[in-house]
Amino acid sequence: MTTQTILPVDAGRLSELSLRSGEPEWLKESRLKALELAAELELPKLEKTRIDRWNINNYGSYKESAAIAALNEAPTAIAALVGSSEEGSLIIQRNSGAVYTRLAPELADQGVIFTDLQTAVKEHGELVRRYLHTAVKPEEHSVAALHAALWNGGVFLYIPKNVVVDTPVQAVFLTDDAEASFAPHVLIVADSNSSVTYVDNYVSGKSEAGLHNGAVEVFACAGAKVRYATVHQFGADTTDVTYRRAIVENDGSVEWIIGEMNDGDTASDTKSVLKGNGASSDAKVIAVGSGSQKLNYTTQAQHFGKNTPSNMITRAVMRENATSIINGITKIEKGATRADGQQTEKVLMLSPKARGDANPILLIDEDDVTAGHAASVGQVNPEQIYYLMSRGISRSDAEKLVIYGFLAPVVSQIPLEGLRNQLKSLVERKLGQ
């Protein structure tokens, strides 16, 4: 079935907005071409998910937000997330644009660039142009094309050669105006033998329906190491569609740490392309679904280089009437000898009406490789609950222990203590504890 894509803006309006924002000509043309593509392309085809029935047309319109001079002026919805970041590097986007940007002086002295993407296209145009939309490509489907046409705010992070950033850089993305478009684009470039940890949070502070159409592009050059940690905690009002891509060169590495804690319908696709020899990827995803959420999570690793290890772990807990589709795809291309692709997907259901589906997929076009997968979907084991209750533990506490035991293999491997604690509290909130 073909579904006609509804364009939220026409070419004239988009061109006018780009000119008013002072964007370079190449970006205006890029946006217009993407808008044209969006009218021709179909929606993404998600496994066992009718995304055409979701709220995916409520883009809103571009609305500027007033800048804030200090973090004590930050909106209440994100105050707890930014309260201790006075000395660090931080970007805050509110609705359609950045309202706060700070780069630690010691990083600026080393040549690190950390600014919102709309500023970066003006100040670092050639560098941005070299990478923008080359990992998440507009021609993939209409959602990607509309993102390329309408993105706003966002983050541009560039780490020069041989620079090691020890302290995480952070961003917070807040949508609290249903009439304002919200489509941040994150672009990270780690040059040769550099290292960085980037952490962001996505939050909503409204009750009206809205859409987040987001994209992330990570480029790990030769020998570079990028750790990308993200937590999505939108309310039930917000539909979240996010595409993440990493291109990893020789001996580079990318590590994804993803907490899917939304209350609304969510689709995310996280893919690592191991382009160079010795490139590696590690992805850890935890998710909790509740209410009547429809969730679709895909994690992918595509091996082109030789000696390329990838590991993907997803653990999801579903309660009430939530349904989830968990896909893991390992693709080993011809010539990627001695590649090693491993994946595990597990879903725990806490209610008879909850549904989960785990789909491990191995696509292998080379003989000299190692690959493996594991998948399981099931209810809480009543024998485990009975055993714990026989030791004097209440049923609710017993269930809580089983759930934490289920998520622990992923959460315990997260190397950032603050993120571990944040995810634990979000899990408790989602589970109604």
Cα 244 from chain centre = 6
Cα 205 to chain centroid distance, Å, stands at: 19
**Amino acid in position 212:** H
Kindly write down the DSSP assignment for every residue of 215-259, as one continuous string. EEEEEE-TT-EEEEEEEEE--TTEEEEEEEEEEE-TT-EEEEEEE
Over residues 128-148, the mean pLDDT reads 97
Q: Stretch 87-93: mean pLDDT, rounded? A: 91
Residue 258: pLDDT band (50, 70, 90) is: very high
pLDDT score recorded for residue 433 = 59
- Cβ burial 409-424 (10 Å sphere, 16+ → b, else e): ebbeebeeeebeebbe
Q: What's the mean per-residue pLDDT of the chain?
A: 93
Query: 343-368 b/e with 16+ CB inside 10 Å = b?
Result: bbbbbbbbeeebbbbbebeeebebee
Instruction: Measure the CA angle with vertex 147, ends 357 and 66; round to 5°.
Output: 115
238 neighbors 175 (Cβ within 8 angstroms): yes
Average pLDDT over residues 31-60: 93
Residue 412 or residue 128, greater confidence: 128
* Gap between the Cα atoms of 63 and 324, Å rounded: 34
What is the per-residue pLDDT for 41? 94
Q: Around Cβ 40, how many Cβ atoms within 10 Å?
A: 10
Whether the predicted model's global pTM rises above the 0.85 cut: yes
CB 205 within 8 A of CB 75: yes
Q: How far is CA 422 from CA 26, 186, 414, 427, 428, in A?
A: 40, 22, 11, 9, 10
152-170 mean pLDDT: 97
Confidence of residue 4 (pLDDT cuts 50, 70, 90): low
What sign for the dihedral angle of Cα 28, 31, 35, 41?
A: positive
- Of the pLDDT bands very low, low, confident and very high (cuts 50, 70, 90), residue 1 is very low
Q: Rounded distance, CA 45 to CA 327, Å?
A: 13
Does the pLDDT value for residue 85 go beyond 80?
Answer: no
| Mean pLDDT score, 158-167 | 97
Q: What is the pLDDT of residues 191-243, one digit of tens each?
A: 999 999 999 999 998 778 889 999 999 999 999 999 999 999 999 989 999 99
4 against 83, higher pLDDT: 83
C-alpha 46/C-alpha 49 separation (Å) is 5
Which tokens in the block code for residue 22? Answer: 């002072």
Q: Find residue 229's DSSP bridge partners.
A: 199, 257
Mean pLDDT computed over 254-270: 96
DSSP 49: B
Please report how the helices 395-411 and 382-390 are oriented relative to each other, as an axis angle in degrees rounded to 10: 120
DSSP string, 289-329: E-TT-EEEEEEEEEE-SSS-EEEEEEEEEE-TT-EEEEEEE
Q: Which of these, 303, 242, 273, 324, lies nearest to 47 by C-alpha position?
A: 324
- Residue 355, amino acid: R
How sure is the predictor about 429, in pLDDT bands with cuts at 50, 70 and 90?
Answer: confident
C-alpha radius of gyration, the chain, whole number: 21
In the chain, the percentage of residues whose pLDDT exceeds 90 is 77
Q: Is the pLDDT of residue 27 over 60?
A: yes
Mean pLDDT of 258-275: 96
Taking the C-alpha atoms of residue 28 and residue 38, their distance in angstroms, rounded to an integer, is: 15
**Under 8 Å between Cβ of 352 and 380:** no
Phi/psi at 192 (nearest 5 deg)? -50, 130
> From CA 128, how far away is CA 278, in angstroms rounded?
26
Least confident interval from 34-38, 124-128, 188-192, 378-382: 378-382
Per-residue pLDDT at 15 exceeds 50: yes
Ranges of each domain in the chain: 11-431
Residue 2 pLDDT > 60, yes or no?
A: no
Distance in angstroms (rounded) separating the CA atoms of residues 327 and 331? 13
Q: How many residues does the chain have?
A: 433
- For residues 224 and 190, the answer to whether their CB atoms sit within 8 Å is yes
- CA 156/CA 115 separation, integer angstroms: 5
The 10s digit of each residue's pLDDT in 282-334 is 999 999 999 999 999 999 999 999 999 999 999 999 999 999 999 999 999 99
pLDDT for 432 beyond 80: no
